[in-house]
Amino acid sequence: MSKYAVKQLSIFLENRKGRLEEVTYTLFNAKINIRALSLAESAEFGILRLVVDNPEKAKTALSSGGFTVKEQEVFAVEVKDEPGSFHKVVSLLAGQDINVEYTYAFVGTSSMAILIFKVPGHLFEQAIKCLSEGGVKLVKPMFFYG
Amino acid sequence: MWNPIEGASREEIEALQLKRLQDTVTRVYHLVPFYRQKMDELGVKPSDIRQLSDLARLPFTTKQDLRDHYPFGLFATPMDQIVRIHSSSGTTGKPTVVGYTRHDMEVWVEVMARTMAMANIGANDVVHNAYGYGLFTGGLGFHYGAERVGAAVVPSSGGFTKRQLLLMKDFGATAICCTPSFALHLYEVAEEEGYNIKEDFKLKAGFFGAEPASEGLRQAIRDSWGIQYVECYGLSEIIGPGVASLCKEGGLHIFEDHFIAEIIDPDTGEILPDGEEGELVITPVTKQALSLLRYRTKDITSVTRVPCKCGRTMMTMGQIKGRSDDMLIVNGVNVFPSQVEHVLTKVEGTTPNYVIVVDKKGVLDRLEVWVEVDEDTFADGIGALEVLQQKLRAEMLNELYINTKVKLVEPKTLERSMGKAQRIIDKRTALKGEI
């Protein structure tokens, strides 16, 4: 496994009232801290994607709470919080024909932003390599799990 | 009355039934290996059928038997005698196939003509037939019956509600053939479209079948359209529509000279007396191609032989109270939960955990299949899940001949909401006496 592989949990959610709160309550109850999240939705269901401080514990808590959870590997990069940063990372990946399945971001410190990327599994290493060579700072999983 | 036999004495009808039953049993014993074997096992010979009550000695036939002999294994005639094949959905994967000889078609047209005569439909009538034309027996069954009595048939088939209304108005339809729920749907759309029901339409009767209808729904159709409601009971395994039809006096008469009816206890198979509720069992006694002995319809009802005010002496059956199996009727189409299961086992990426929800959308039925997404099948991506949904929808249409709404749900959703694992949720209240 790549040293830059960050464990992300995807949770299948029906679009119904109160369901998201049941997830957040389950995580709160297990004392899980959410480090990054994104929610994708269709008309009838959604997928909540989370990077948390303790993925194993979170997964156990959610599974036993009756949620459908899938663990995925994503990677994260740290960029300056300024125009063009996201573009640069995406360009490097596009230049290598690496398809971004989805991505989301959050502001890390006052001047830096963290971008999370999901690419097809077989292109993972290639993506890490091209970004690293392109001068993009990759974030180690410990940053999230700490 | 189309045929004087409908008002013949009970003795005459029963003598005819016995003669025809004896002929039928003799034919199938010699021509259908399945029946020869079954009768040999029971130790019954065709010559043992000496009176009508000897019917009880004959073996039952089930839908499963038809499936086991798919497609033509129970036919009693060679294929060169067959002039028509119809089929309805089977319980898993394979449809139920029925065949007709020229003679069988004549029987069918005859009983459908009797049905038309229940509302005095004749040469001066325009019959708008909105049953689906195709493998389903409804479309062509009503079509030929209406032609036989001399009416002008408009074979509009199903769907396209607004166009149907336009044709009904412009062609001056005096009778309509469709499912009861579609009749009410037509009315609602006609109202929305601004038709004046009394002035724009000339309907005087409707021939309704293929799905159960509550008294409330019937009354709503009678009142809204201002027409005579002719209920038509039938099933493709026996002949299609035309097994029994409702007279003006409210008797749902079984055309007994062609179909011998019994009511049995669905658990023990014992014959129940008139007036008692049980499963309707029918033996067609004038058919050649598919001549089934004691076919178990799974429909729960009762029968009476009290003479009817309309003058017909043929036995009447009550309304269908339910089914002794898990078959659902959705907009006139038969749906078995096992068919849904069959689709799920075929489509990769789904679990066999599902729930069927039948509901009303307006007056029409809507079928939803809720499929659980578990950890093995949960592809992390909206697109992948939507593709799965579409694939399931296409396969359901292919298998059930009906549009299904596929909903992906979390595991154990249903146990949570219903308190137990339940496969079918029928939210329609139509059967409980409301609309």
Q: What contacts B348, CB < 8 A, 6 or more positions away?
A: none
pLDDT grade, residue B165 (50/70/90)?
A: very high
Q: Which region holds residue B194: left if phi is over 0, alpha if psi is between -120 and 50, else beta?
A: left
Mark which of B300, B325, B350 sits at the end of a domain.
B325
Is-contact B93 B71, C-beta < 8 A? Answer: no
Segment (H or E) for B301: strand B295-301
- Report the domain count for chain B: 2
pLDDT of B430 higher than 50: no
**Is the pLDDT confidence value at B348 over 80?**
no
How does residue B435 score in pLDDT terms, banded at 50, 70 and 90?
very low
How many angstroms separate the CA atoms of B155 and A3, rounded?
Answer: 70
> Which residue, B235, B246, B315, B321, is CA-closest to B274?
B315
Query: Looking at the partner chain, which of B374, B380, B409 has a beta carbon nearest the beta carbon of A10?
Result: B380
Calculate what percentage of chain A has a pLDDT beyond 70. Answer: 99
Looking at the partner chain, which of B386, B410, B411 has a beta carbon nearest the beta carbon of A42? B386
The range of the structural domain enclosing residue B362 comes to: 333-432
- The pair of three-digit structure tokens given for residue B94, joined into one six-digit string: 């394979």
Neighbours of A107 (CB within 10 A): 10
Out of B303, B325, B347, a domain closes at B325
User: Which domains are assigned to chain A?
Assistant: 6-72 (3.30.2130.10), 74-145 (3.30.2130.10)
Confidence of residue B335 (pLDDT cuts 50, 70, 90): confident
Of B373, B386, B412, the CB nearest to A12: B373
Between B296 and B432, where is the model more confident? B296
Q: Does the pLDDT of residue B143 top 50, yes or no?
A: yes
pLDDT band with cut points at 50, 70 and 90 for residue B414: low
Q: Are residues B259 and B342 part of one domain?
A: no
Interface of A with B (CB under 8 A): 10, 12-14, 40-42, 44-45, 47, 49, 63, 66-70, 72, 101-102, 118
Query: Residue A125: is its pLDDT beyond 90?
Result: yes
**Buried residues in B120-145 as b, exposed as e (16+ CB within 10 A):** ebeeebbbbbbbbbebbbbbbbbbbb
Q: Give the CATH number of the domain where residue B348 resides.
A: 3.30.300.30
Task: Choose the final residue of a domain: B308, B325, B342.
Answer: B325
User: When comparing pLDDT for B432 and B73, which is higher?
Assistant: B73
pLDDT, tens digit (0-9, with 9 covering 90-100), for B295-330: 999 999 999 999 899 999 999 999 888 888 888 888
Same domain (yes/no): B156, B201: yes
ipTM of the complex: 0.82
* Residue B375 to residue A70, Cβ atoms within 8 A: yes
B267 inside 8 A of chain A by CB: no
Strands (E), chain A: 6-14, 34-41, 45-52, 68-80, 102-107, 112-118, 137-139
- Closest-CA residue of B relative to A71 is B380
Helix, strand, coil proportions of chain B in percent (round to 5)?
35, 25, 40
> Which of A47, A66, A118 lies nearest to residue B382, judging by beta carbons?
A47
Mean pLDDT of chain B: 91
Mean pLDDT, residues A93-105:
95
pLDDT confidence of residue B127: 98
Average pLDDT, chain A: 93
Does B198 lie at the interface with A, CB-CB under 8 angstroms? no
Higher pLDDT among residues B145 and B345, named by residue:
B145
- pLDDT over threshold 70, residue B416: no
Q: What is the mean pLDDT of residues A56-72?
A: 93
Interface residue B378 vs chain A (CB under 8 A): yes
The predicted pLDDT at position B399 comes to 85
**pLDDT(B91) > 70:** no
State the pLDDT confidence band at B419, using cuts at 50, 70 and 90: very low
Q: What percent of chain B has pLDDT over 70?
A: 94
pLDDT over threshold 60, residue B431? no
For residue B151, is pLDDT > 50? yes
Closest in B380, B381, B409 to A14, CB measured? B409
Q: Are residues B159 and B232 in the same domain?
A: yes
pLDDT of residue A22: 94
| Start-end of H helices in B154-302 | 161-170, 180-192, 197-200, 215-225
Asked whether residue B157 falls in the same domain as residue B294, the answer is yes
B50: Cα within 13 Å, side-chain hemisphere: 1
Residue B310 sits in the same domain as residue B369: no
**Is the same domain home to B299 and B193?**
yes
**C-alpha to C-alpha distance for A21 and B23, rounded to whole angstroms:** 71
Check A101 against B381: CB less than 8 A apart. Answer: yes
Quick one: B216 and B305 in the same domain?
yes
Tell me: do B54 and B115 sit in the same domain.
Answer: yes
pLDDT at B361: 82
Tell me the CATH number at B289.
3.40.50.12780
- Residue B72 sits at the chain A interface (C-beta within 8 Å): no
* CA distance linking residue B206 with residue B33, whole number of Å: 42
C-beta separation of A101 from A74 below 8 A:
no
Judge: A47–B410 Cβ closer than 8 Å, yes or no: no
Give dist(CA B325, CA B297) in Å, integer.
10
B397 shares its domain with B291: no
Q: Are residues B317 and B357 in the same domain?
A: no
**How far apart, in whole angstroms, are the C-alpha atoms of residue B79 and residue A7?**
65
- B88-100 average pLDDT score: 80
B411 touches chain A (CB under 8 A): yes
- Going by pLDDT thresholds of 50, 70 and 90, the confidence category of residue A71 is very high
Burial of B276 (0-12, 13-18, 19+ CB in 10 A): exposed
B256 shares a domain with B118:
yes
Q: Domain check: are B197 and B233 in the same one?
A: yes
All residues of chain A having their beta carbon less than 8 Å from the beta carbon of residue B381 are 47, 101-102
Whole-Å CA distances, A139 to A58, A79, A144, B360: 21, 10, 9, 53
pLDDT at A101: 93
CA distance B418 to B426: 13
Model confidence at B65, pLDDT cuts 50, 70, 90, reads very high
Do B296 and B279 meet the contact criterion of CB atoms below 8 Å apart? yes
